[in-house]
Amino acid sequence: MKNVNKYSRGYDMPPVKSLKWTEKQYITEAPTWCSVDLRDGNQALVVPMNLEEKLEYFQMLLQVGFKEIEVGFPAASETEYAFLRKLIDENLIPDDVTIQVLTQSREHIIKKTFEALQGAKKAVVHLYNSTSVAQREQVFRKSKEEIIDIAVAGAKMLKKYAAETEGQFQFQYSPESFTGTEMEFALEICNKVLDIWQPTADNKVIINLPATVSMSMPHVYASQIEYMSDHLSYREHVILSLHPHNDRGTGVADAELGMLAGAQRVEGTLFGNGERTGNVDIVTLALNMFSHGVDPKLHFENIPAIISKYERLTRMKVHERHPYGGELVFTAFSGSHQDAIAKGMKWREEEERQYWTVPYLLIDPMDIGREYEGDIIRINSQSGKGGIGYILQQKYGIDLPIEMRESFGYSVKNVSDHQHKELMPNDIYDIFMKEYVNLHSPVEFIRYQSTQNGHYETLVSIRMNNEELELKGVGNGRLDAISNAIQTKLGIDYTDLVYKQHALEIGSGSKAVSYVGITAKDGTVNWGCGMDDDIMTSSVKALFSAVNKMISNIQLPVEKPYYPLKK
């Protein structure tokens, strides 16, 4: 691409090697989660939420299980000030939930922030100022010492106003644009703030290290976090927090590796809403842990309901391929994928194993409120026999023989390909009923009578060319006798009759279903299905369906029977 020389690495590696996080295989416990949907997320909306919408969203966050929620920047907006006051005045904050508010290091803003917090039982007051080289040089045009003075002054003011305000307040400091800051300077400014606040075991301080702009590969961010974790003063009394953005599409990876590197807390939003490419997606982070058998301490058992409310309140759309939440993320259109999923689901039922290992499905969709029907396997021209058979079995109780699935699969794919659309389960069912079940042209089965005398003698009534006729046959069983009658009296040759039957348990009471496959002279196998209240009659109908299929497939001429029906 052109202009590649315009860009440099733009980040700072730690001055000492920080790679202990690489020795860890996985995250063992959930961090403290802090939702910033109502601040970072809301400010990034084309149409920010009004007070009523923010309140409904706040209630949803409580239901999901967040114990820390950043509710806004009360000194910057009357709407956010009013929202905070409503939460406090109407006692809408549960005792086990801590609200968080944001403030710059400016006295009139800090003063108004604490005025807005009057009456709150507890809150996190989040102080920030920008520390990166770009911000120092281009925006503030200040030296490192002057930037430190801003942070220290703010820390002192927080301490002063907290002492004058009733309530329990925890302090948080963010060196905004941390990822563009020299690591030694980031450490210095954080330690200067900690020296002011003097954290203790009973009064811990949060140091939040934001990837305000994601600038490096995730392993670099992890090394930066580990360096800070190893060198922060008062470390045992510091809660190390992350706030990754997603500019490079690595927000989730940044957060996961940052947790391996020592972070104990994560700030993010549902589905990654936020400025530019957004904040880290807490839904994905939490369910990634869930997929490893770690309880994320958040409730995403009904993802569809959360998405519905999220989309209505934010006017944003969760992409169809968004991890876990997207409409299509558990869906297989590919034939080989469908076949593997169908076999995996059947294997799981048979084996009753503890751990989820179904191919192509990271977690069980039902654990987060998704349905097997319509979510896992959907049918288009790329689909295969396994998935198509799975749909019929799950939705309608029709368990096709394995050998028959290929034949039916081609029928379905041909329809989808011709119509250039996805086929719904009812479409698949209609194709099956039309092309395979109780076929009655050109030979229509009417009735049969059978007697047994060492072998079966059967008289079959049929209708062909608008004329009712009788066929007689002998065989080892009733179906064999009828098959012999068809071949002998109609002059039709086939071999290798394959037969299967079962009760149709879904939606049709005790109706029986039978499947028959017959092989023509050219080697093609023709399948038919019969449905009837009587199991034997369903078998006969399946045989006639297969015969009619073979006649239509190879345009076989049918001889006139030897035995016309006597009137």
Q: Is pLDDT above 90 for 218?
A: yes
Tokens read off for 354: 């503890």
Strand order in the sheet with 444-452: 444-452, 456-464, 467-475
Among residues of the chain, what percentage have pLDDT more than 70?
A: 94
Mean pLDDT of the chain: 91
Q: Which residues are registered as beta bridge partners of 127?
A: 103, 173
Tokens read off for 191: 């330690």
Level-2 CATH architecture, domain 444-554: 2-Layer Sandwich (3.30)
Q: What is the three-class DSSP state of 452?
A: strand
pLDDT for the residue numbered 383: 64
Among 277-291, 338-352, 358-372, 376-390, whose mean pLDDT is lowest? 376-390
pTM over 0.95: no
In this structure, which amino acid lies at residue 303?
I
Q: Is pLDDT above 80 for 29?
A: yes
CATH class of 31-314: alpha beta
The model's confidence at residue 563, banded by pLDDT at 50, 70 and 90, is very low
The model's confidence at residue 472, banded by pLDDT at 50, 70 and 90, is very high
Q: Which residues are registered as beta bridge partners of 130?
A: 176
Residue ranges covered by each domain of the chain? 31-314, 335-436, 444-554
Q: Is pLDDT above 50 for 333?
A: yes
pLDDT for the residue numbered 385: 64
Q: Mean pLDDT throughout 188-214?
A: 97
Q: Is 174 left (phi over 0), alpha (psi -120 to 50) or beta?
A: beta
d(CA 519, CA 528): 12
Q: What is the pLDDT of residues 228-247, one digit of tens each?
A: 999 999 999 999 999 999 99
Task: Please identify which residue in the block is written with the tokens 């040759």.
Answer: 493
The model's confidence at residue 62, banded by pLDDT at 50, 70 and 90, is very high
Among 99-108, 131-140, 401-410, whose mean pLDDT is lowest? 401-410
- Residue 323: asked if its preceding bond is cis (omega within 30°), the reply is no
Q: Is pLDDT above 60 for 562?
A: no
Pairing verdict, β 265-268 and 238-244 = parallel
Would you say the CATH fold of 444-554 matches that of 31-314?
no
pLDDT for the residue numbered 377: 67
> How many other C-beta atoms lie within 10 A of the C-beta of residue 44?
18
**Closest to 264 in 3D by CA, of 16, 13, 27:** 27
Among 154-168, 270-284, 325-339, 397-411, whose mean pLDDT is lowest? 325-339
Query: SS3 sequence, 134-148?
Result: HHHHHHHCCCHHHHH
d(CA 222, CA 216): 10
Among 118-132, 154-168, 334-348, whose mean pLDDT is lowest? 334-348
d(CA 514, CA 75): 74
Q: What is the pLDDT of residues 412-434, one digit of tens each?
A: 878 877 888 878 889 989 999 99
The model's confidence at residue 507, banded by pLDDT at 50, 70 and 90, is low
Tokens read off for 559: 């001889």
Among 70-74, 83-87, 202-206, 521-525, whose mean pLDDT is lowest? 521-525
Q: What is the three-class DSSP state of 446?
A: strand
Q: What is the pLDDT of residues 38-60, one digit of tens each?
A: 999 999 999 999 999 999 999 99
The model's confidence at residue 557, banded by pLDDT at 50, 70 and 90, is low
Q: Is pLDDT above 80 for 307?
A: yes
